[in-house]
Amino acid sequence: MTKSCFAPAALLASMILLSPAGAGAQNGAGPQKPGAPCCNIVAVDRASGLVTVKVNTNGTVFEFKPSNPATLAGLKPGQAVYANFTNHQVSLDGRTMSGTMTSAPRASTAVLPAPTVREPAAPASSSAAPTSAASTLSGAASRNPGTSAPMATTIIAIDPIRLPTISYGTPQPAQTAGRRPTDLSELRPVTTRIGGRDVTTKVLRLRGLAGIEQAQGLPDGARRLLAIHVRTLDPNQPHDYIVNTELAEQWMAAHKVPDDIKTSDGGSHRQHCSGADYVTKANCDYQAAGDAVKAVQDEAKKDWNHASDELTHDWNMAQDCFADKTLPLNNIPVKFSITPNLTIPLSSVANGAGVKSSFTNASSSGKVDGSVGLGFPLEGDFVAQLNLFYIPCLPFVVRPKSIAANGTMLVGEKLTASVTATGSFDKTFRIPPTGGPKIPIQMIPIVIAGVPVAELDVSAYIEGDIEVGGSGKADAHFELSDPHKASFSFDCNGGGCSSRLKPVADPATVMESAEIKGQVMVKPSVYTALQLDFDFDLLSARVGPQPYLQGIASGCAEASAQQASDGTSTSEENHALTADLDGGIKLRAEALVAEQVVGKPWTPSMTGNKHLWFRDLAPGGSTALVATVQSAGPVTAAKPASYRVKMPTCYPYTNKVQYRVTWTGNATPAPNSLCQWQAKGGTCQGDPAKDLVINLTWPTAGAYSLTVVPVSDDHHRSFSSAPQVTQVTVSAAPGGG
């Protein structure tokens, strides 16, 4: 069992500690001289009134509560104390009792992660007496002169290092401004609600070597160790640290770092940067480039190994106590439902980009006005994971490792346009035209060992382009809706992102309203993503579907007249009001450090290029979707009759049209490379603006009909126009021939 570390005389009569006279003599004995203190204070929690103490001989810790609450104010980390483990009493001077232990000595917890030291079981054949619990690593006695007796140098067994608990606090609404730190070293409070009360911790954000060097309030020993450690990191890893300042002070007060523990390069490889910009300064933190990177790393790794060897010996720690461990925080729920909207005034945006609302150039001329609106109903349902790097022998510091998530995102992209234009125009505008693309949603506090130290910020990210074009005179008002749901998972770190996705169903698209004259094309390509930021920007993951749409709305009304050589005349009126939507979806995943993309973005196609939707919007149907069929002249039995087929002048598309051709009677069609004939009909394909010639021969005179219906085109538009029946009368010529 653990020996008492009170003075020997005090051990003989604990009543001395309990007597009103404190250290006074008993039975005429004079004051007893205390022995060396056994322990040191490592933490003082003034809120709970508890003091955490470390036993120097074996690294275990216990807590006690001062008998006099006023005593708490004078206690500080590093202060030596005495302990009587038999009676569970603590003394500040070795003579009088100052408090009572509230816990027995135990392996250090997550907050103070010294490994548990225990004795191995003696071999069955051994006759050696059991070793003392005060024994420690071989040779450690010479480095612990404060103990009351020389420590044994027996071999011990060390339990695996226990990592701290990591959890998340209650999500809080995100603030919209003034939150992002901009300095390489910045001290700030982090508050969250734990156990029904608000807990606040002061943390230092350190960006790279420059931040470590500039930090105020960072203990010297910690500064020297972090200055070595940051040099060992690969260039593609985040070089950022979050330091719990109070814990750092307490830990370093109880764990001295000798003066010879420091960087050995003396700054000889450094490249000093003069940039005042936050990101520029951060990018200068890795102090070498090219072949010099490995030289700096190799030298730093030697320094780190030297520090690890010496300090694990001095501090009675396990050898791998200075190795990077992973703190995983799993199953973080990320759920949200928002509806951001953007309205783009075409004239003002064009002017801001140096494009006049009225313009004439080599390729286009005219005038454009109006607006394009984009709405993005977003619903996200994810389970996120945050991994942090943690060094057990530096329990006051963490740095980001990776961010991952798995779930679904529903994006209900809605496009509305109100465009007035003349002439030919085609312009591309950036989204959003003003303001930032991030829409804050919520902040999730990250709690380590019951102490809030950082946060995970959840945002929606929207960016992209919208192309607006047209021809003729356009006055368009229309609305398109394109909801789609994507299921995917991702894992992002300093080297980029990996991801996988599930098949995505074709979007369900609805047209709500349209009123169009002329042709207007609106093509947004918008990236809508979930963004997770660890402590603002130390490591970020941005992942989401990147749909692209092309909406073409067309309206036309036209009348024409023709006069034949025989003096007869015909007139034709046709009109069209149609809307067409093309698009596809990619998944885009990218990692960021200090808001700069790192690694290569991952952008696989989720759907491929697809025609999504077409609709005839004219009441009663657009007559421009009905094929015109004209006879070349009188029809005679047993002789070929020729018919010309094409689409009306208001037909808005140029892709080849597929016609379904049927007839009555027993006519025989002439071979045609553009047609495939069967009995009493077939299909033909042709340019909608050019005549498709069909030749039929009826064997006998009679009244027959010929029907030609456009059913689709090469762009996969499907037409549902009502068929127009062309009545053909065939009369037998004299002599039947």
Give per-residue pLDDT as tens, 280-298: 344 444 444 455 667 778 8
Q: Is pLDDT at 147 greater than 60 in this prediction?
A: no
What SS3 string covers 335-361? EEEECCEEEEEHHHHHHHCCCCCEEEC
- pLDDT at residue 32, as a whole number: 46
Angle (deg, nearest 10), helices 220-231 and 291-314: 140
The SS3 assignment for 285 reads coil
- The single-letter DSSP state of residue 140 is G
Q: Give the pLDDT mean for 450-457.
A: 89
Q: What is the pLDDT confidence band of residue 115, given thresholds at 50, 70 and 90?
A: very low
Q: Give the pLDDT mean for 58-62.
A: 81
Question: Measured in whole angstroms, how far is the alpha carbon of residue 550 from the centre of its chain?
Answer: 27
Q: Give the pLDDT mean for 103-120.
A: 47
Q: What is the pLDDT confidence band of residue 517, given thresholds at 50, 70 and 90?
A: low
- Could you tell me which CATH number the domain at 626-736 has? 2.60.40.680
Measured between alpha carbons, how far is 727 from 737 in angstroms, rounded to an integer? 22
Q: What is the pLDDT confidence band of residue 394, given thresholds at 50, 70 and 90?
A: very high
Closest listed residue to residue 212, CA positions, set 148, 267, 254:
267
* Residue with more model confidence, 349 or 478: 478
pTM of the model: 0.60
Q: How many CB atoms lie within 10 A of CB 687?
A: 14
Q: Which of 53-57, 216-220, 415-419, 516-520 has the lowest mean pLDDT?
A: 516-520
Please answer whether residues 596 and 495 qualify as being in contact, where contact means their C-beta atoms are separated by less than 8 angstroms: no
Q: Which of 157-161, 372-376, 636-640 has the lowest mean pLDDT?
A: 157-161
Q: Is pLDDT at 144 greater than 80 in this prediction?
A: no
Residues in the chain: 737
Q: What is the pLDDT confidence band of residue 2, given thresholds at 50, 70 and 90?
A: very low
**Which of the given ranges, 178-187, 221-230, 524-533, has the highest pLDDT on average?**
221-230
* Residue with more model confidence, 572 or 147: 572
Measured between alpha carbons, how far is 63 from 101 in angstroms, rounded to an integer? 6
Q: Is pLDDT at 377 greater than 90 in this prediction?
A: no
- pLDDT at residue 371, as a whole number: 77
Q: Give the pLDDT mean for 8-22.
A: 28
Domain ranges of the chain: 8-158, 166-326, 331-387+400-616, 626-736
Give residue-wise pLDDT tens across range 636-682.
888 899 999 999 988 888 999 999 999 988 899 999 999 999 988 99
Angle (deg, nearest 10), helices 245-254 and 220-231: 100
Q: Is pLDDT at 693 greater than 70 in this prediction?
A: yes
